[in-house]
Amino acid sequence: MAEYTKSAEAIARLTPEEFHVTQQSGTEAPFENAFWDQDEPGLYVDIVSGEPLFTSIDKFDSSCGWPSFAKPVEPAHVEERFDGSFGARRTEVRSTHGDSHLGHVFDDGPKELGGLRYCINSASLRFIPLDEMESEGYGEYLKLFEKEKE
């Protein structure tokens, strides 16, 4: 099993927007981010630690302008915390090992997918296309996509 950690080197590689989102709990603009409308098969990992977070299998179009997922691929890699900022009562989601702010989870997702909507900032994610997962060290997740082909 790979070791996923937050390092000074990883933080130094972040763009200003990636730093703002992941390290300062910022939010990127809706409909103006890399993955809100992407439908290519693959794995989404924490941009800081590399820990696997979501797959394209669980991604759905919520029309909110950010990538939305029904569930994490590894629940232990996603922590939920109360967020009372800006007078709202929301549940923030952060990566466990990278401690990156990812976005928020809401209970208005598709009922047939479990009813949750993980609304995630693209700036907190790195996308690993299906055909690169093995070479990038995420081969153990390929089996999930085999089930989709059946």
- The residues that are catalytic are 119
Task: From 78, 28, 43, 91, select the one nearest 19 (Cα to Cα).
Answer: 28
Residue 4 token pair: 């996923």
- What whole-number distance in Å separates Cα of residue 79 and Cα of residue 45? 14
The tokens of 32 are what? Answer: 């103006």
Task: Check the CA dihedral 60-101-79-76 and report its sign.
Answer: positive
DSSP H or E stretch at residue 72 = none
DSSP-assigned beta bridge partners for residue 140: none
d(CA 31, CA 146): 30
Total residue length of the chain: 150
